[in-house]
């Protein structure tokens, strides 16, 4: 178990054990259904703290978890009866406008990141919810509104500073530890503790968003028109077809609390450009029509979900989206628990997501669509219904799904799904894992087992 006082005294940050006041607040993740109770949480304030906490856990034989934004729906950032390395204190962001780069601490959120970049008119692909951690999202790939143009978040990594399982501080980039750098593009938290990330940034002069809502019975017409728009849309256009419950906002009018069909369209340009693209959707006269210019950092938090709810979700890839598949998608939307904060999303891939596949450990990036049932509810009595709904959406679409999945969008669905996520890249990941974490210390995220005999 270890001597907590000794560890506490050695840290620049703090240590919270089960006996300490505030433990439950520090332990809480975005998903309130996760009840895992670590023995202690090391609130790291420096890279040295990360090394101290890691050494302590290893010397005491304690299981370990790494936590940044705390948005792992499966609870990978906590560990029962072990020690958590909490990275939230390492959240600085330094922007170099001339070089168009940003260096961000391993515990920052996308809100920290986007707010720091915005004054410079610079941005890159980040998560669609601003409270998600840069760390977990990027290491797992990193899907965001402008990925079709800029690639996934991991595609824009220039380097990662990491504390390895042996406690060494190393840098991974195209020229230093390049195998590890490749593995950090989608291999998740399997390889060490990332203490900082440096990203490439892009100028973004203008951006706009359309949030259009209809009563759910319009879902078939809406999703077909949205699909047709996305099939021909330039890479500057992103978005989602969705089912959701009308949020309690004045502009939502009498759709508040009602099951809605939605189209979200994002544009790397002013609202006039966006309006031209979404004209076929506007012909369907959405009762809720928000179409506006918006600063990127504000757009990134427009759909922020409330923390403290119960979450379960899944994801599947599709290469085509015929009308029959959309019929099943819409039936899934009609079956969603409502009212609730749940969402059923269909996201368009293509463009830079597929183009950059060669440089990343994330497999199967050449698919055209991602379906993402995202169950969020409040009452534990709805747990079974929420889980069943999530799985039923994927099962209903089986005729069109590839069998592969995006690991950031799924919880703990077993070893076969991990293999489905890593696909042909698993052997090379296992070999990199054997080099940098031979004892499998970092095993909480979709785990890659160290395996030297596997081909690289
Ligand atoms: C509301 C919500 C919205 C989301 N939206 C998106 C989205 O738009 N696009 C997308 O791709 N994904 C999205 N996700 C999924 C998200 O990317 C993953 O759940 C991711 O793991 C969360 O990262 P985190 O740092 O917040 O999580 P945490 O729970 O803190 O960490 C999850 C795991 O990531 C690893 N990790 C985190 N930080 C580090 C670090 N510094 N060093 C080493 N390992 C680390 C650890 O293994 C950890 O167990 C969303 C999740 C939620 C709950």
Compute the radius of gyration of the chain from its Cα atoms.
21
pTM of the model: 0.97
Distance 70 CA to ligand 1 centre (A): 7
Across the range 440-449, mean pLDDT stands at 98
* 126 close to ligand 1 (CB < 6 Angstrom): no
CATH class held by domain 4-86 = alpha beta
Confidence of residue 399 (pLDDT cuts 50, 70, 90): very high
Residue 210 burial class via C-beta count within 10 angstroms: exposed 0-12, middle 13-18, buried 19 and up: buried
HSE-up of residue 171 (Cα within 13 Å, Cβ side): 9
User: What does the domain layout of the chain look like in residue ranges?
Assistant: 4-86, 93-203, 208-409
* 86 close to ligand 1 (CB < 6 Angstrom): no
Q: Beta 83-86 vs 64-67: how paired, if at all? A: parallel
* 187 close to ligand 1 (CB < 6 Angstrom): no
Task: Kindly tell me if the per-residue pLDDT of 391 is higher than 90.
Answer: yes
Looking at ligand 1, which residue's alpha carbon is closest to its atom 3?
A: 129
Confidence of residue 456 (pLDDT cuts 50, 70, 90): very low
Looking at ligand 1, which residue's alpha carbon is closest to its atom 47?
A: 189
CA distance 183 to 429: 6
Distance 71 CA to ligand 1 centre (A): 5
Distance 69 CA to ligand 1 centre (A): 6
* 71 close to ligand 1 (CB < 6 Angstrom): yes
Q: For 16-46, what is each residue's pLDDT tens digit?
A: 999 999 999 999 999 999 999 999 999 999 9
Ligand 1 atom closest to the Cα of residue 30 is 53
Task: Kindly tell me if the per-residue pLDDT of 1 is higher than 80.
Answer: no
* 79 close to ligand 1 (CB < 6 Angstrom): no
> Which one of 1.10.287.4070, 2.70.98.40, 3.40.462.20, 3.40.190.10 gives the CATH number of domain 208-409?
3.40.462.20
Q: For 77-130, what is each residue's pLDDT tens digit?
A: 999 999 999 999 999 999 999 999 999 999 999 999 999 999 999 999 999 999
* 305 close to ligand 1 (CB < 6 Angstrom): yes
Q: Beta 259-267 vs 237-245: how paired, if at all? A: antiparallel
Q: For 329-385, what is each residue's pLDDT tens digit?
A: 999 999 998 888 999 999 999 999 999 999 899 999 999 999 999 999 999 999 999
Which residues touch 257 (CB under 8 Å, ≥6 apart)?
Answer: 245, 246, 248, 339
Cβ pair 144, 370 in contact under 8 A: no
- Residue 448's SS3 state is coil
Which residues touch 169 (CB under 8 Å, ≥6 apart)?
Answer: 47, 51, 161, 162, 163, 195
List of E strands, 320-394: 343-348, 369-377
* 186 close to ligand 1 (CB < 6 Angstrom): no
Instruction: Choose one of 133, 147, 152 to mutate for the ligand 1 pocket test, by most ligand atoms within 8 angstroms of C-beta.
Output: 133
Q: For 286-345, what is each residue's pLDDT tens digit?
A: 999 999 999 999 999 999 988 899 999 999 999 999 999 999 999 999 999 888 899 999
Quote the mean pLDDT of the chain. 96
Confidence of residue 132 (pLDDT cuts 50, 70, 90): very high
| 93-203 topology per CATH | 3.30.465
* Element at 420 (helix H, strand E): helix 415-422
* 106 close to ligand 1 (CB < 6 Angstrom): yes
pLDDT for res 5? 96
Confidence of residue 453 (pLDDT cuts 50, 70, 90): low
Cβ pair 66, 178 in contact under 8 A: no
Distance 113 CA to ligand 1 centre (A): 15
Confidence of residue 2 (pLDDT cuts 50, 70, 90): low
How far lies 345's CA from each of 205, 242, 326, 330, 348, in Å? 28, 5, 12, 10, 10
CA distance 393 to 313: 10
Give the CA angle between residues 85, 441, 35 to the nearest 5°: 55
Q: For 250-270, what is each residue's pLDDT tens digit?
A: 999 999 999 999 999 999 999
Q: Which two tokens stand for residue 396?
A: 């209903």
* 87 close to ligand 1 (CB < 6 Angstrom): yes
pLDDT for res 350? 97
Task: Please choose, from the candidates 369, 211, 232, the residue with its C-alpha nearest in 3D space to the C-alpha of residue 282.
Answer: 211
């Amino acid at each position: 178990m270890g001597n907590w006082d000794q560890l506490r005294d050695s840290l620049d940050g703090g240590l919270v054990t089960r006996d300490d006041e505030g433990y439950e607040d520090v332990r809480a993740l975005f998903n309130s259904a996760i009840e895992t109770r670590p023995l202690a949480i090391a609130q790291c304030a420096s890279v040295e703290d990360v090394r101290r906490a890691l050494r302590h856990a290893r010397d005491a034989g304690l299981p370990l978890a790494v936590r940044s934004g705390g948005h792992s729906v499966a609870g990978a950032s906590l560990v029962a009866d072990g020690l958590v390395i909490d990275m939230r204190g390492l959240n600085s962001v330094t922007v170099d406008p001339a070089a168009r780069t940003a260096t961000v601490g391993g515990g920052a959120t996308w809100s920290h990141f986007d707010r720091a970049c915005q004054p410079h008119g610079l941005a890159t692909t980040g998560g669609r919810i601003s409270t998600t951690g840069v760390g977990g999202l990027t290491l797992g790939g990193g899907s965001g509104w402008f990925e079709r143009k800029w690639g996934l978040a991991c595609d824009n990594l220039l380097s990662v500073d990491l504390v390895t399982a042996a406690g060494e501080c190393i840098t991974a980039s195209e020229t230093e530890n390049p195998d590890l750098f490749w593995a950090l593009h989608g291999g998740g938290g399997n390889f060490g503790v990332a203490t900082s990330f440096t990203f490439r940034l892009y100028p973004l002069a203008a951006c706009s968003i359309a949030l259009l809502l209809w009563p759910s019975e319009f879902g078939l017409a809406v999703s077909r028109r949205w699909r047709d728009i996305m099939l021909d849309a330039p890479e500057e256009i992103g978005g989602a077809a969705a089912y959701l419950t009308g949020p309690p906002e004045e502009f939502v009018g009498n759709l508040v609390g009602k099951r809605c069909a939605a189209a979200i369209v994002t544009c790397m340009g002013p609202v006039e450009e966006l309006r031209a693209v979404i004209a076929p959707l506007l012909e369907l006269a959405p009762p809720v029509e928000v179409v506006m210019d918006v600063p990127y950092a504000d757009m990134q938090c427009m759909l922020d979900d409330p923390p403290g709810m119960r979450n379960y979700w899944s994801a599947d890839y599709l290469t085509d989206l015929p009308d029959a598949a959309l019929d099943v998608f819409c039936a899934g939307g009609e079956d969603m628990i409502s009212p609730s904060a749940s969402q059923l999303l269909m996201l368009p891939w293509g463009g830079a997501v597929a183009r950059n596949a060669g440089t990343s450990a994330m497999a199967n990036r050449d698919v055209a669509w991602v379906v993402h049932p995202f169950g969020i509810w409040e009452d534990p009595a709805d747990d079974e219904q929420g889980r069943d709904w999530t799985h039923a959406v994927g099962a209903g679409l089986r005729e069109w799904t590839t069998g592969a999945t995006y690991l950031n969008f799924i919880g703990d669905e077993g070893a076969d799904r991990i293999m489905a996520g890593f696909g042909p890249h698993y052997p090379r990941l296992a070999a990199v894992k054997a080099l940098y974490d031979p004892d499998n210390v970092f095993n909480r995220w979709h785990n890659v087992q160290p395996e030297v005999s596997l081909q690289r």
